[in-house]
Structure 1
């Protein structure tokens, strides 16, 4: 049996030796992560897919950038930091990481080395459980202003646990700069079934299957109907589950945006049907 998981490389895009680096945290209930910790060794063969997702730096590098992470969410923004420094980027880079204590900061030595070597890199460590960091506690507007007073003028890149993601989104939304926040989640977004949306039927055209709309995501409803559509991350990052909605309206559970056009590609892992929907599955 093959098990699939999605990890963000922490390597620079400009890696000189052609290798890339993955950092895998072993979770108590993590079948794949714990297996890798117990069995990963030189010569082990793993099947890899091409890189997917949209959490990337723009082609035209920004003059200023704020990178924010928490826990193992450090990996994609670590890749961004390494990429910018390898390119000789001269713009201002602020790297803000949240951890329980100093001992819980991945890449601590590498971060300090990069900050010491590059005058344009500023490293800030925020500890939630102890004093002694540059900042203390959870993400707040005060933290944001202390780290990057120019935050409204450029984009912030954020990856971390649900609490950090929710807190940062609330701050950016309240300040009217939600459009400046670029995010990648590593936990599926919470889904609340809306009784007004959970009406009508879902038609899986290619499978000639119809089922009552339960209000869950189209991926979950397809699986409940006995179908096996392709999927990967189940949180709207990898695009493996992308399918064509032939008719009807769907809502993106991450941001509430509606898709009403026919023959439109949607990610079924984060799309819930609003009324009758037909999908090419």
Structure 2
């Protein structure tokens, strides 16, 4: 006996929705349809996927955990980051955060580290409230698990870098086929976010959770990352796929160890803090020309993004650390230095990430 399955109506509904939105948009001219829809409910907006904050937890030192319920499901793979936008004092600000999906729910959970002087992270920690509206995008980035799951994995995180790792751990826990050792670094017990989730994961037979406190008492281990930590809990690390997310200091020390053991190809990393950058005096000369705006400014040696903002421009950007590629622009002439690697490039017409590119001498950028 053969059986047939009725074709999905989802594509039909999607096309019908687009046709309806297009027709309503034409009727609402000269204003955008969203201007009227958001009067009834901000989540009805069509130009972006808006979400309502449903929960905020600021009890953990140095981070804010919030849950949001988007109007439409977001497409992302565990471990990826999404564009997160919110309006503060009438200005829309975009950042890049890694979410997790609440089991059995469409709600997305973010843990955001509170940076000193950070506009968005500070607002979330001090002023955001349940019911506030934000925007979320679809997933991007390659910090994801392989399609063919290995029998064993090592995961390391620090601070709010726990979020993408927890997201991946959640998908692994569902099958139970992969044994995972998860090592998380935090200053003290009071700096460990998502503790209930960690306790639930540690009760699973295929997951071992190791807490390392860099300053406070308690924890399974103490101090900053060193080889002795992995020798104690994962002596097989050099032969195992490893995923690391956290501050640049932690990620850098892990990279050094894996380079020493010849295991770099097994290491997958993601940093959530801007790279440390000291302006090279030899680069501070000439001017930066923003061709589309007609603005020319003396080259200070700072990144193109910073110099554009200091010149009064507001180029689109997200993470400010070279992850999300939102700030990509064309460098029509001149030479820039990648502040993450120190490498220079002067190919005319190249697309550069202005948040991690510093001009050397005279540079023209299409902004």
Q: Does 1:116 pair with 2:203?
A: yes
Show the counterpart of 2:169.
81
Show the counterpart of 1:93.
180
8 Å Cα contact 1:52-1:237 kept in structure 2: no
8 Å Cα contact 2:238-2:258 kept in structure 1: no
Point out the more displaced range, 179-188 or 131-140.
179-188
For 2:110, what is the secondary structure of its paired residue? coil
For 1:277, what is the secondary structure of its paired residue? strand
Show the counterpart of 2:308.
222
| 2:221 equivalent among 127, 130, 135 | 135
8 Å Cα contact 2:277-2:339 kept in structure 1: yes
Q: 1:65 to 1:220 in 2, by over 3 A?
A: same
**Structure-2 separation of matches of 1:211 and 1:37:** 35
CA shift, 1:125, in A, is: 1.1
8 Å Cα contact 2:186-2:213 kept in structure 1: yes
**Structure-1 separation of matches of 2:309 and 2:350:** 21
- 1:148-199 per-residue CA deviation (whole Å, 9 max, x = no partner) reads 3343344432222344334334434444545544333332211111233334
Q: Does 1:105 pair with 2:195?
A: no
Which has the larger Rg?
2
- TM-score under structure 2 normalisation? 0.65
Q: 1:214 to 1:177 in 2, by over 3 A?
A: farther
| 1:145 equivalent among 185, 208, 231 | 231
Q: Does 1:234 pair with 2:320?
A: yes
Task: Provide the aligned length of Structure 1 versus Structure 2.
Answer: 277
8 Å Cα contact 1:54-1:237 kept in structure 2: no
8 Å Cα contact 1:205-1:279 kept in structure 2: yes
Point out the more displaced range, 32-41 or 17-26.
32-41
8 Å Cα contact 2:304-2:357 kept in structure 1: yes
Q: Does 1:46 pair with 2:134?
A: yes
Structure 2 residue ranges without an equivalent (≥5): 1-89
Point out the more displaced range, 170-179 or 156-165.
170-179
Relative to its length, the structure with more strand (as a share) is: 2
- TM-score under structure 1 normalisation? 0.83
Show the counterpart of 1:2.
91
| 1:188 equivalent among 274, 290, 310 | 274
CA shift, 1:105, in A, is: 1.8
| 2:109 equivalent among 21, 41, 57 | 21
The alignment yields a C-alpha RMSD, in angstroms, of: 2.9
**Structure-1 separation of matches of 2:117 and 2:362:** 37
**Structure-2 separation of matches of 1:11 and 1:258:** 40
Q: Does 1:171 pair with 2:257?
A: yes
Q: 1:35 to 1:217 in 2, by over 3 A?
A: closer
Q: Does 1:271 pair with 2:360?
A: no
**Structure-2 separation of matches of 1:10 and 1:32:** 19
8 Å Cα contact 1:96-1:125 kept in structure 2: yes
- 1:238-274 per-residue CA deviation (whole Å, 9 max, x = no partner) reads 2211112233432221223444433332211011123
- 1:61-89 per-residue CA deviation (whole Å, 9 max, x = no partner) reads 44432211122221111111112223x15
For 1:10, what is the secondary structure of its paired residue? strand
8 Å Cα contact 2:239-2:263 kept in structure 1: no
